[in-house]
Amino acid sequence: MKIIVPATSANVGPGFDSVGIAVTRYLTIEVLEPADDWFIEHDLGAGIPTDEKNLLLSTALSISTDMQPHRIKMTSEVPLARGLGSSSSVIVAGIELANQLAKLQLSDAEKLRIATEIEGHPDNVAPAIFGNMVIASYIGEDVQYVTSDFPSCDLVAFVPSYQLKTSDSRNVLPKEWSYKEAVAASSVANVAIAALLKGDLLTAGRSIESDHFHERYRQSLVKEFPQVKEVAHAHGAYATYLSGAGPTIMNLLAPEHTAAFVAALEELGLDGQIFQLKIDTFGVRVEK
């Protein structure tokens, strides 16, 4: 059995902690033979546990302890701590692992509730479960969500070589705002979401880049952001934004501009990787 979970790009500008999209890079969990003890085979680095301390298994075992241990192979195309939902993909895979092995028959809504409780907010875990774009809120213990197609476009991510922990990105955010600032930020987010739902990427792009909630505080942590954004605009990008807490920089473009933009981005010689992506429309899936 294989469990496949897409990477995700959260916030999408002003959709702070509430909007995310699923993209075409994947975490794959292969459940192999039964064993006396759980063991995860991976090549993700020496610091990633191979036993029940691994986030995959700690998530699964928090849901059900009544499971036969197995040997598991974990492979990931999702870079760690880069703003593409690496931990969220593992959490969603862990929930699905428990769902399959313990035969829980969880609904997608139940998976989202559990994942949000673990992660603390739904912006990454929701699209990892549903695919496409998900707009969600988490207030108290209540999770509300709306799924939608994302407007047709190409996505090009520049992924810097360094990690940026979510905790460090959150430390630069203000602790409180004035009522006037909150209303202004909310109005920008409302227009962004309405335009995305309508398929109007020109309007959505302007609002995405007008975010008040987090990007103006975090952009200084990602030194490549001004250069990437300048080149993206020179090649007709709809928007450039920080993916999640960063440092990945996501660019939305019409397909006819993608090749020229990627070539220009490569010419900058920045230290990082370039991923050409599409929207994943499936979310978590199981192959048996």
Strand partners, 146: 135
**Residues comprising the binding site?**
79-89
Residue 250 tokens read as 């996501």
Place of tokens 């920008």: 188
The one-letter amino acid code at 245 reads: A
- Output the CA–CA distances (angstroms, integers) from residue 274 to 46, 155, 159, in the order listed: 25, 10, 6
**Residues 253 and 154: beta-carbon distance below 8 Å:** yes
Q: Report d(CA 201, CA 197) in Å as an integer.
A: 10
Strands 70-76, 39-41: pairing kind: parallel
Q: Report d(CA 27, CA 81) in Å as an integer.
A: 14
**Residues 272 and 224: beta-carbon distance below 8 Å:** yes
**Residues comprising the binding site for ATP?**
79-89
